[in-house]
Structure 1
């Protein structure tokens, strides 16, 4: 079993337990982590992030803007205006404390 827990900035992120992971897989990840100069936990986080958020994926806002352009809802100039004013920083988790 592998347990992952991480804290980033002022907010806690998800914990994941992986049960029944074959020893060969765990060993391969440990070796891969060593080759990349990081911990097994950091390697697993990287693997999961790359799998869940691959480079080149179409983000929802871009997808909706492309639909609007296709149906004539936005001109290229309007699209550029939205692209330039888009907030690119990640959303922060709400804290009720």
Structure 2
């Protein structure tokens, strides 16, 4: 697991992280980890948006298991 040190954090940011920690009943360190995790995730996967749109049309969509495998880049040589 990686480590990170954040220096020169503004008082305002530190106050907000402390507020989130208190609100969630966790440590400031855990709150910082959670906030970084939440901020670094994509808001929505394109595939999920497409599925939601197709389902809103009441169209038939076969139930296909999603793969989390990473696709290999194409080699055009």
TM-score when normalising by structure 2: 0.55
Which structure shows the bigger proportion of residues in strand conformation? 1
After the TM superposition, list the runs of 4 or more consecutive aligned residues in structure 1 that deviate by more than 4 angstroms. none
Correspondence 1:48-87 to 2 at 5 A: 48-58=36-46, 83-84=64-65, 86=67
Unmatched segments (≥5 aa) in structure 2: 48-60, 70-77
Unmatched segments (≥5 aa) in structure 1: 1-12, 63-75, 89-97
RMSD: 2.6
- For 1:27 and 1:85, locate their aligned partners in 2 and report how far apart those are by CA, in whole Å: 40
Q: How many residues align?
A: 56
TM-score when normalising by structure 1: 0.45
